[in-house]
Amino acid sequence: MYAVNAALPEAGDGEGDGSPVELDGVPAYRSVGAVGEPVDLAIVAVPAERVPEAVADCGAHGVRGLVVLSAGYAESGPDGRERQRRLVRQARSYGMRIIGPNAFGIINTADDVRLNASLAPQTPAAGRIGLFTQSGAIGIALLAGLHRRGAGLSSFISAGNRADVSGNDFLQHWYDDPGTDVVLLYLESIGNPGSSPGSPAAPPPSSRSSSSRAPGTAAAPRPATGCPSPASRTPRSPRCSGRPG
């Protein structure tokens, strides 16, 4: 893990020996190129007007993925939507994928990763639940609720505006992830249902389960008798007594 900040001194630690500054014990450099080692993932947390500069630095030095925490994009109006389109075009020109912008971050509890690249105050316990949200506030509430119940996570993503990587992408990842058995999603919209596991265009279902909820909706439970629920009944639905058997 490295920190990158263009405001750092030119000469490493300021003593002329070329060694990096340390920020909270993390080696820090003025640019991604100065790190001198491959970087897979960059967490971008700068004002929106500085993001293109950060993306160019990452792309020029082989970064594969970005988590953009910066706000000021589609959530802020027409100008922000155009800024978001430019961000995606710029990242794709380097072959990079984006989580965000306006993201809350990502967490991976796998033993060989142990990454908390989010604004969450603490890393959740390891477990077998994959959690995806758009809203950072909902993400915070769900993390707190799962923590109170002692439920562990395999990974957590709060993707903000979902300009590039979406919930469908993570569903496909979790479908093949041996460390995830259950998937929870909080979605404000579904962009391409046909690409989700379980759709006609997706692989056949496995024993894993997923649950999604859009804001302002409630599930209509199906009675144990097998009769349709009142919310789903139509004139052609069978008449049921409501009693088993």
The span from the CA of 16 to the CA of 150, in Å, is 50
Q: End-to-end distance of the chain based on CA atoms, in angstroms?
A: 61
Q: For the sheet containing 3-4, what is the strand order?
A: 3-4, 26-29, 21-23
Per-residue model confidence as pLDDT tens digits over 145-192 = 988 998 999 999 999 999 999 999 999 999 999 999 999 999 887 765
Contact 52, 87 (CB under 8 A): yes
Q: Map tokens 């496995």 to a residue.
A: 206
Predicted TM-score (pTM) above 0.85: no
Per-residue pLDDT of the chain (245 residues; tens, 9 = 90+): 899 998 887 644 445 555 678 888 889 999 999 998 999 999 999 999 999 999 999 999 999 999 999 999 999 999 999 999 999 999 999 999 999 999 999 999 999 999 999 988 888 999 999 999 988 889 999 998 988 998 999 999 999 999 999 999 999 999 999 999 999 999 887 765 555 555 545 555 455 555 555 555 444 444 444 444 444 444 454 444 444 44
3-state secondary structure (DSSP) of residue 212: strand
Cβ atoms within 10 A of the Cβ of 187, count? 19
The span from the CA of 88 to the CA of 33, in Å, is 22
User: Six-digit token pair at 59?
Assistant: 């792309």
The span from the CA of 91 to the CA of 84, in Å, is 11
Q: Map tokens 């004002």 to a residue.
A: 47
